[in-house]
């Protein structure tokens, strides 16, 4: 675990590292206990532990689901209510999942690669992309989630999440990776399907051409997910029964 403080110039400084400390959530053996321990104990593993976070945000949905969604980090609404994908982007995500006949809270475990809200320290509490240090510091929690959930597939929304799930090169571009499927480097039984973050549709709303492009890419990726992971199940069950 690491301890950070904000200097007078606004920069964060690492002031202590306690290598031997293993967070108690990482010792839990089921995902509900993992989530509740992480939330109740809190975490000081990176600079996001101070300066703006209201709480650690772990997951919503079904802790026994076969499918997982991994986003980037909580925003203001998620930080306030404690549940990932609770704002406008979350409503888009839910609508996308419902469009293929699934229920986001029954069929999915929905979380983020970083569990605390990244903001700047200027007093303007805007959402930021998590830094490399924070994403790496939070990765043991993400890996424990994947280990305990053992999902068939993770739908990875956005390039930041993809970079830290799959160690993609820093120059990776979303348009090259959307719709691609990868084995998770640490959990080869789990596949990772990369698509755009639903917030990208909202951010592009003033540019109809871009907005339609992102919508179409997401829709193609979701149909691929449906064909490969949802429609395959009855066939597998029929084979097992015969």
Task: List beta partners, residue 176.
Answer: none
CB of 133 to ligand SF4, least distance (A): 9
Q: What are the backbone angles phi and psi of residue 127, rounded to the nearest 5°?
A: -75, 140
Residue span binding ligand SF4 (CB under 6 A) among the ranges 78-86, 133-141, 197-205, 224-232? 133-141
Q: Are 71 and 158 in contact (CB under 8 A)?
A: yes
Q: Are 157 and 108 in contact (CB under 8 A)?
A: no
| Residues in region 7-46 near ligand SF4 by CB under 6 A | 43, 45-46
Nearer to ligand SF4, 83 or 116 (CB): 116
Q: Examine residue 165 and tell whether it contacts ligand SF4 (CB under 6 A).
A: no
Nearer to ligand SF4, 59 or 141 (CB): 141
Pair of tokens at residue 231: 């429609």
Q: Examine residue 115 and tell whether it contacts ligand SF4 (CB under 6 A).
A: yes
Q: Which residues contact 106 (CB under 8 A, 6 or more apart)?
A: 61, 62, 65
CB of 82 to ligand SF4, least distance (A): 13
Q: Examine residue 114 and tell whether it contacts ligand SF4 (CB under 6 A).
A: yes
Q: Are 61 and 110 in contact (CB under 8 A)?
A: yes
Question: Where do contacts with ligand SF4 occur on this chain (CB under 6 A)?
Answer: 43, 45-46, 48-49, 56, 114-116, 134, 137-138, 141
């Amino acid at each position: 675990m690491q301890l950070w403080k904000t200097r007078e110039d606004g920069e964060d400084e690492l002031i202590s590292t306690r290598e031997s400390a293993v967070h108690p959530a990482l010792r839990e053996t089921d995902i509900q206990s993992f989530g509740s321990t992480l939330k109740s104990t809190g975490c000081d593993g990176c600079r996001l532990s101070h300066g703006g976070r209201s709480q650690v945000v772990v997951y919503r949905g079904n802790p026994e689901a076969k499918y997982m969604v991994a986003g980037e980090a909580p925003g203001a609404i998620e930080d306030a209510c404690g549940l990932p994908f609770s704002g406008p982007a979350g409503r888009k995500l839910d609508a996308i999942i419902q469009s293929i006949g699934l229920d986001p809270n029954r069929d999915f475990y929905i979380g983020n690669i970083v569990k605390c809200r990244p903001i700047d320290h200027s007093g303007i509490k805007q959402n930021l992309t998590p830094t490399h240090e924070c994403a790496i510091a939070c990765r043991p929690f993400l890996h424990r989630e994947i280990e305990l959930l053992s999902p068939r597939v993770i739908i990875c929304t956005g390039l930041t999440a993809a970079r830290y799930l799959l160690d993609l090169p820093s120059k990776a571009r979303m348009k090259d990776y959307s719709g691609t499927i990868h084995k998770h480097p640490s959990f080869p039984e789990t596949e990772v399907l990369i698509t755009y973050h639903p917030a990208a549709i909202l951010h592009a709303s003033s540019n109809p051409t871009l907005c339609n492009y992102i919508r179409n890419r997401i829709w193609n990726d979701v149909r691929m997910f449906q064909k490969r992971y949802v429609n395959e199940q009855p066939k597998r069950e029929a084979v097992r029964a015969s």
